[in-house]
Chain A
Amino acid sequence: MFHARTSGKFLAIVAGGALLLSACAGNDSASNPTASGSASASAPASAPAAQTITYSYEQEFHSYNNNTAAENATRNAGPLQRVLTGFWFFGDKGAITPDKDFGTYEKTSDDPLTVEYTISDKAVWSDGVPIDCDDVLLWWASNSGKVKGFSSSGTTGVEDTKLPECDKGGKKFSLIYDKPFADWIANGPGATAMLPAQVVEKQAGLSEDDFIAAVKATDAKKLEKAIKFYNDGWISEGTLPAADLIPSSGPYKLSKMDAGQSLTFVANDKWWGAPAATPTIVERVIALDEQSQALQNREVQIVQPQPGPDVLKQLQGLEGVKTEISDAYTYEHLDFNFDSSPFKDKALREAFAKCVPRQLIVDNLIKPVAPESKPLEIRNVAPFQSNYAAVIAASGGGAAAYAQPDVEGAKALVEKAGKTGTEIKIGYQTPNPRRTAAVQLIIDSCNKAGFKVVDKGSEDFFGTVMPANGYDVALFAWSGSSLVSGWGSTYTTPVKCDGENKGNNNGCYANKEVDALVKKLNSTVDLAAQDPIIGQIEKILWDDLATIPLFQHPGLYAWDEALQNIVPNPAQSTITWNMDKWSLT
């Protein structure tokens, strides 16, 4: 068929051409590096040179307003930490820290609880407008629920305060509470909460006086346009809103967004505090799994990948990279169903708590990532918080009895109750390999104690199984906080045990004593007096075996050694909480 000779010639030429083509594409042709022509001197390229620090985050920035229901998320809270400052922020280890640059505040009265705030005289938005009364009123109007229409991520605390009295240009105001509020220290406008009222006024076509008057009258109708802008006007779709809409009140301002790629911060020249150590910071959007190679190629200098043994080893093997494992606020726990399960019987809960291999779960599943990790002893204070030891002491160390599994003891209890062979459904959200492994460990241990534990993980666990109480014990995680007002409702007796009413108390745990203590805690304004109450609650929770805490989720961070002052933070302020201190040596 083939004409070997002619087609041979033809082929040789085609091949030669192909080789030449590929040689050009691959740049591996021989040459002489001298540039031809006169254009060899290219213009100097300036890139993210020495004065830029780049960090990676998996989610893209969405909105300059982190306070609406939908946009209250770390993807916004992180980048905005040093752009929108406030009276306080989640500082080192997530502790509530007053921001002295922004202003000062102090409690002046216990009855009624009154907190006086003073905004710094120097405080000014980057567009030159002073930070004052109208900004405070915008904050109050949007977060108190008193003006209908504002989308808010939560009104707790603020809803109990009276309208702050201040006048145009005023820098002082007080929050006067209708009832004592435990978290008053973090209830004033903190970082990311105080937004520029002048922008809202301009967008709504109101004068500053009109705006102040409208808020004071809680006139939702007059504020309609302002509310609409507040709710939607700051949401960005890949590009930042116009620069005059997003002034800064911190060391950095948002300067540029590249859709799906990066967000750039530049130093705010109107910032009145200590100037930012590095003039430009860049956030790059990078999927968790891809961050460590990006660090290795130094396209970013700070990464926060998904913790795992492999990625940890990979990062630790990199030259010039510092790796840190630190706890996150999230913690894993087992939640009993008190409504419709065998665990209504306290003896069975005790038996189950005895057979759950808490230490083994930590050893097998968490220590490969976080070697220092220990089983969690209490629920509502995280191990890195300063009051952890104090609260454990106050709780009487209820966890000690369940430190190691006591299968024999558990078996005796199950037999005594005459419930040998009781089927126990462990529910959790799938897919989640770590939870599946944890459940397997529980099954291995507790089946020896006479239970018949079954893995009931489901893809619709939170959607349908949990609201309908279709489980006996649930395995999932909650995120903690240094605030006390957040978790109380989790242990408060629900009005009615159904999906509508039970709130976070999924298993419908009920104990009058705890109800009273939670109430007392939420109205204890003396911070030092809170720890003993938390301890008492924890003691009862252990006595009742309301839940079994397992472990604190680990967080993994790594950065270029040349960077100074990188301090991971477990709170929603994220690692960026002190980005104005970051520097490159």
Chain B
Amino acid sequence: MIVFIARRLVISFFVLLAATFIIFVLTALSGDPLEDLRQDNSPNKDLKIADRVDRMQLDVPIPIRYLGWLGRLVRGELGVNRDGQDVAPLLGHALSATLQLVLVATVMAIIVGIVIGIVSSLRQYSGFDYSVTFAAFICFSLPIFWIAVMLKQYMAIEFNNWLKDPGIPPTVIGVLALLGGLIFGALTAGDRRRRLIAFAVGAAITGALFTLLSVTHWFADPGFGLPLIVAISAAAAVGFTVLSAGLRQRGPLYAALGATLVGALASQVLGPLLANPTWLEILGFALVTVAICVGLGYGLGGIQRRQAITASVLTGLFTGALIFVDRMLQAFNSYSQAVRGRPISTIGARTPNFVGDFWQTNLDSAGHLLLPSMALILVSLATYTRYSRASMLEVMNQDYVRTARAKGLPERSVVVKHAFRNGLIPVTTLMAFDFAGVIGGAVVTENVFGWQGMGNLFIKGLKEVDPAPVMAFFIVTGTAIVVFNMIADILYAYLDPRIRLS
């Protein structure tokens, strides 16, 4: 394995080196770096041209310019752009902006996409499957700048307007109830009668929920409150237990419910500590949660100890996340007032000079990340749902799945243990490529939502026929692609013993 990795690294290095030369030459030849100055009619035109020729060494042949660049790179310098700005700090800012912008969106798209894909594969050719396919393809084919403008108009501007008096009109509640009913109906297995009942129940629950939200003006000052946290967390405990251990043995369930109880208790006791924490403290809480939950699972798990630990840790973290979100929601009202009642932003990464506590600052980031993340998720969701659906379907038809069923394993074990893990293998490649792509930035999204990230660095450099920023961009993205490809290979070996052992 190590030899394999080393060989890959050496080959990749030379490939990258050759690529830098090609990219450098292509960039330098892609246009006229003096174009903007040639249209200038100010008396100092010649001076400006001379200055730029000097700085960009335009009087030197391109290969020699490349060697100069390479020499500086070896010394750890990325050079200056055509205006004399150091490229290294520009790259740093761009990279951090891009990571903030695209990382969350990509992770969300992967998780949600895979879950939807698997569900729709297990319900192949159902109403749900068709709807998901339809929706995924629509989103996939929409141009992102259009989605962005629509999101800005309806999710930000109109939503903020609506927040001034957040009542939901009866017709809208009706439509939402109908939608909720349809989702419940489509997800339910069984005959028509069962599905109709599910539809009715779904519609009723959704309708009641939104009526309540509207009447209490919940959106103006949202939050969960303890009873709801306990209820959701308990439901999650049951869900996680079913997924990881099944309900045959009671141990895992008790462990998970124990995690719920501890979480609920902690939310009350830790109040003062959560008033204005730091990310480090939050991380600490998460670690403590994991430790406690491992203990719970170990103590209560019985013969299904390992599964119990998984269930209780997941429940614990989920409850923690719930408390976190609840705290954020409680800060919503004060944050909203601080930004003049317009919490959802259309542009930028943060409100300039915003000062607030931990929750408000994070709400500010969230309010700015919401729209670009939604746009990115909507567009990239389709790939993940389709890939995971297809690979899951393939796996579910394999002989070993039939064997597993034949020997009487419960469906849960068949899907979670035998099919899911193998179904993930092809998706891994996609994930690796996507993460590498993420670092390259999302040019359109960045531009539309006012983030000066990697894509922006690259496009601006290319427009200005300025190799320095383009090369800085390329070194980072090129390296990322090499590294992530290798990670994909290693993950492959981990997930698929056939590769590891051959």
Q: Which residues of A contact B (CB under 8 A)?
A: 1, 3-20, 23-24, 27-40, 42-49, 52, 54, 60, 62-63, 68-72, 151-156, 231-232, 235-239, 256, 258-262, 264, 280, 282, 284-287, 289-290, 293-294, 296-300, 429, 459-460, 462-464, 466-467, 476-479, 485-487, 489-490, 503-504
Contact = CB atoms under 8 A, between A and B. Distances in A.
Contacts, number: 328
B354 A48 contact: yes
B84 A11 contact: no
A290 B267 contact: no
A487 B40 CA distance: 11
24 contacts: A8-B189, A10-B122, A20-B235, A30-B212, A31-B228, A34-B225, A36-B226, A38-B272, A39-B272, A45-B335, A45-B354, A46-B356, A60-B452, A235-B83, A236-B85, A259-B93, A280-B353, A287-B448, A290-B346, A293-B346, A297-B160, A299-B348, A462-B35, A486-B43
Contacts of A4: 189-190
A47 B354 contact: yes
A476 B149 CA distance: 32
Interface stretch (B255-263, B380-388, B408-416): B408-416
Interface bracket on B: 35 or more
Contacts of A62: 83, 85
Given A31-B222, A48-B352, A299 B347 contact: yes
A42 B334 contact: yes
Contact of B274 (A39, A52, A69, A231): A39
Nearest first, the 10 A-B pairs at minimum CB distance are: A260-B452, A8-B189, A154-B44, A37-B271, A463-B32, A45-B356, A69-B51, A45-B338, A259-B93, A462-B38
Contact of A293 (B90, B149, B239, B275): B149
Contact of B352 (A153, A237, A284): A284
Interface string B341-370: 010111111111111110110000000000
Contact of A43 (B55, B97, B238, B357): B357
A286 B41 contact: no
A35 B411 contact: no
Contacts of B178: none
B309 interface: no
Interface string B381-404: 000000000000000110000000
A463 B35 contact: yes
Contact of B223 (A8, A24, A35, A476): A35
Contacts of A297: 152, 156-157, 160, 342, 344-347
Nearest to B225: A32
B157 A293 contact: yes
A284 B84 contact: no
Interface stretch (B64-72, B288-296, B323-331): B323-331
A36 B226 CA distance: 6
A11 B189 contact: yes
B342 A261 contact: no
A44 B415 contact: no
Nearest to B354: A47
A47 B339 contact: yes
Contacts of B240: 17
B498 interface: no
Contacts of B153: 293
A260 B449 CA distance: 12
B327 A47 contact: no
B338 A20 contact: no
B396 A48 contact: no
A299 B212 CA distance: 31
B188 interface: yes
Contacts of B45: 503-504
B8 to A, nearest CB: 35
B42 interface: yes
B85 A287 contact: no
Nearest to B401: A1
B488 interface: no
A490 B41 contact: yes
Contacts of B235: 16-17, 20
B215 to A, nearest CB: 11
Given A45-B360, A490-B41, A33 B152 contact: no
A6 B313 CA distance: 26
Given A20-B236, A260-B94, A32 B83 contact: no
A185 B267 CA distance: 71
A30 B35 contact: no
Given A30-B212, A31-B228, A47-B356, A287 B450 contact: yes
Given A28-B213, A33-B218, A45 B38 contact: no
Given A28-B209, A293-B153, A462 B187 contact: no
B439 interface: no
Contacts of A235: 83-86
B227 interface: yes
Nearest to B339: A47
Contact of A298 (B48, B89, B340, B355): B340
Given A42-B330, A42-B334, A47-B339, A486 B83 contact: no
B305 interface: no
Nearest to B452: A260
Contacts of A489: 43
Nearest to A156: B43
Interface in B138-170: 149, 152-153, 156-157, 160
